[in-house]
Homo-oligomer: A and B are copies of this chain.
Amino acid sequence: MIAFGGDYYPEQWPRDTWLEDVRLMAEAGVTMVTVGVFSWGLLEPAPDTFEFGWLDEVLDLLAQHEIAVDLATGTASPPAWLTYQHPEILPVDRDGRRLWAGSRQAWCPSSPVYRERAALLVRQLATRYAGHPALAMWHAGNEYGCHNAHCYCDTSAADFRRWLRATYDSIDAVNEAWSTRFWSQHLTDFEQALPPRLTPTFNNPSQVLDFKRFSSDALLSCFIAERDLLHALAPGVPVTTNFLVMLGFDKLDYWKWAREVDIVSNDHYIDAADPDAHIELAKSADLTRGLAGNKPWILMEHSTGAVNWQPRNRAKRPGEMLRNSVQHVARGADGVLFFQWRASRGGAEKFHSAMLPHGGTNSRIWRSTIELGRHVARLASVAGSTPRSQVAIMFDFESSWLLANEALPSTDVKHSRIVQDVYAGLWHGGVTVDFVPPGADLTGYALAILPCQHALSPAEVAPLQEYVESGGVALVTYFSGIVDRSDQVVLGGYPALLRSLLGLVVEEFDPLLEGAGVELDDGSTADTWSERILTEGADVVRRFSSGPLAGEPAITRNRVGSGEAWYVGTHLAGEGWRHLAAAMCTASGLHWAPVEGVERVTRYQGRDAFTFVINHHDSPRPIGAAGHDLLTGAAVDMDDVIAAGAVAVVHSAFARAQGDD
């Protein structure tokens, strides 16, 4: 079944509220809650003094009501006594400013004291609750790195040096990797290596890259330490931690993290100001499924309504929460959970919406919660399946990090933006996407896209080359394949490693000024980027028709083996990516089925197909699927329409999956 529920903080409420909570959870169809995320301070009120009584009581109550518990280890925020006794735990930012207690995550990921105290708590929890009937899953930490991903303190510096020693054979290998012959940065001993702290001008970009790798690994080792304890002390209980796969968060290399969790879970919040937030949601859900290796995953947190941390937190529109939730399920989520069950009275998130709002049960949000609970229950049969796709987007956290560096050709080239724009182009054609890591085997895909895949190693290029030669169609965008995995330019003409595959060389980058645009010869426009392309075998698909590069190639196609390698040397504007996506799909023999504003995703389960249809449009649209709707039980015909803003999950038992073998 699909889990339904949310974060539950009974410690914020008196005992008699707990009884009301479980009663209302039953009413709403809640099947799982996450407990204990921020309970360290109450579970261990003084060093080595533990108070588990209240948690025993809560877990027993939940077990009695058959509500499964995702039990948090509580290590996300250390208690006040710990940072009071050990201020050296507190993280330090790039400017050298200490970050104090009084919010959350005020701990340095490399702190031995933090790690030791966290392990002690986890050990206690695991021992105590290993066999508890409510326990369904462990929730290690919480949103690792949300606020403390990069610590520049002396402890972190020492740990970074340990990481460098483990990563590089010698200090000369670091010198090579960091290009320290530039700007007199030569190191003669590991002890001289530093985090990229505030400097007079641009930091060494390779040092920044390694520091981001180290930082992701430092937090990952915190997770692994907890996971290993949990596995040892409570065997058989899966361990997860909630990722933050959404626009604007790219601090951790989740490809590495995904290998370490027993089940992938994700927190997702929409940007209230983004009219296309549902497309960003779809992309994040697909990326999360990619991290999960195309297996189901859990939506650990989203919101019933407004959040509290954006500048202006609008309410969700009627039906929006349902659409959001169903979108996640369509793309592989086997759990729909929220932050949080009951809105807090005080603290920094008191104006964050919840399943049960401040106003109580006589409210629109509560009614929506109940309605959603019913819908989720009706989707039990889809559990365990995922959609399949013939389109892969290569997604690289390191390229995202690199494009956030200073001193690049243009500050407007943002990895998240190009990925989102390319993805949205496909979304409008009804194309579901698999996200794959750099260097992934692309066998079986009909179309593979590398959006601003800035760094590449030869080993990562090989499967791509092989894929195209074997008949695959690839699309590479500008500023891809420029540097190696040390952030050093691969010489031999940009993009050197892809030059023969693409049949071209880029002679010179020519970023566009702020607000400037350029035209292509089909009348479309582009912005942000242009470049001087010399073809070396590729056909020219589109040329620039204005600006200093008028007449020069903008989009090219190179036939290689039985496949094609396309290239885009600019950032398409307007519907440019959509049109290019349509052309690519045609070239790849893929179905291009645009229905304006309607999302249609199919999860496959043996011979069963479950087509999720979500109408984001403000008028009725063709439903485009036949069978019966799991949510209403009604028969559905291809010719039927789906109401504005509505959702349907059409089961067609006879369907043969696209790409099925």
A contacts, CB < 8 Å to B: 9, 11-12, 38-42, 45-46, 74, 76-81, 84, 91, 95-106, 146-148, 178-189, 191-192, 194, 196-207, 272-273, 305-306, 308-309, 311-315, 317-318, 343-351, 357-360, 362-365, 406-412, 486-489, 491-494, 505-514, 532, 548
Instruction: Give complex CA distance A42, B197 in Å.
Output: 23
How many copies of the polypeptide does the oligomer hold?
3
Instruction: Give complex CA distance A365, B507 in Å.
Output: 9
Instruction: Give complex CA distance A332, B13 in Å.
Output: 50
Interface hub of A98, A348, A506, A512 (most chain B Cβ within 10 A): A348
Q: Cβ of A200: which chain B residues have Cβ within 8 Å of it?
A: 91, 99, 103-106, 147-148
Instruction: Give complex CA distance A38, B147 in Å.
Output: 37
Inter-chain pairs besides A77-B183, A203-B348, A273-B513, 9 sampled, C-beta below 8 Å: A11-B181, A45-B188, A81-B192, A100-B194, A147-B200, A311-B410, A317-B548, A348-B407, A358-B493
Check A351–B182 contact: CB distance below 8 A: no
Instruction: Give complex CA distance A178, B102 in Å.
Output: 10
Q: Cβ of A202: which chain B residues have Cβ within 8 Å of it?
A: 103, 309, 348-349
Q: Cβ of A492: which chain B residues have Cβ within 8 Å of it?
A: 359-360
Instruction: Give complex CA distance A97, B198 in Å.
Output: 8
By Cβ-Cβ distance, the 7 closest A-B pairs, closest first, are: A179-B346, A182-B347, A147-B200, A41-B186, A103-B199, A202-B348, A77-B184
Instruction: Give complex CA distance A364, B38 in Å.
Output: 60
Q: Cβ of A309: which chain B residues have Cβ within 8 Å of it?
A: 202, 406-407
Check A185–B41 contact: CB distance below 8 A: yes
Q: Cβ of A78: which chain B residues have Cβ within 8 Å of it?
A: 184
Main SS of chain A's interface residues?
Answer: loop
Check A346–B314 contact: CB distance below 8 A: no
Instruction: Give complex CA distance A46, B186 in Å.
Output: 10
Interface hub of A99, A358, A486, A514 (most chain B Cβ within 10 A): A358
Checking B146, B347, B507, B512 against A314 with a beta-carbon cut-off of 8 angstroms, the contacting residue is B512
Check B357–A508 contact: CB distance below 8 A: yes
Q: Cβ of A81: which chain B residues have Cβ within 8 Å of it?
A: 188-189, 192
Check B103–A346 contact: CB distance below 8 A: no
Contact A99 to B199, CB < 8 A, known contacts A184-B41, A346-B178, A509-B306: yes
Contact A346 to B486, CB < 8 A, known contacts A40-B184, A84-B192, A183-B103: yes
Check A183–B488 contact: CB distance below 8 A: no
Check A179–B12 contact: CB distance below 8 A: yes
10 A-B pairs (CB sep. < 8 Å): A9-B181, A12-B179, A78-B184, A105-B201, A179-B344, A179-B345, A309-B406, A313-B511, A350-B489, A358-B494
